[in-house]
């Protein structure tokens, strides 16, 4: 599922091990959407809530960097 936040978006997923079909840790991917879609951060967490929190933290950090770069 992709959640949009300004010029960034993030996906949160829980992949399965292809051999055992057991669920693995939650993974998140942060994208910069403009001018073209670009992966800017990835990571993993034990729970979905923690993965979302880490993704949002990454976006906050990237937004701060955007403001500094623009100034």
- Cα(18)–Cα(68) distance, integer angstroms: 43
Whole-prediction pTM: 0.86
The domain limits of the chain are: 2-70
Task: Please provide the DSSP assignment of 4-71 as one string.
Answer: EETTEEEEEE--B-TTT--B--EEEEEEE-SSS-EEEEEEEESSHHHHHHHHHHHHHHHHHHHHHHH-
Per-residue pLDDT of the chain (71 residues; tens, 9 = 90+): 799 988 999 999 999 999 999 999 999 999 999 889 999 999 999 999 999 999 999 999 999 987 776 65
Answer for the pair 40, 9: CB distance below 8 angstroms, yes or no.
no
pLDDT digits over 14-23, tens only?
999 999 999 9
């Amino acid at each position: 599922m992709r959640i949009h936040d300004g010029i960034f978006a993030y996906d949160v997923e829980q992949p399965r091990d292809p051999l055992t079909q057991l669920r693995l840790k939650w993974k998140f991917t942060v994208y910069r959407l403009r001018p073209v879609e670009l992966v800017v951060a990835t990571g993993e967490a034990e729970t979905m809530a923690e993965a979302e929190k880490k993704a949002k933290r990454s976006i906050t950090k990237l937004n701060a960097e955007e403001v500094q770069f623009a100034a």
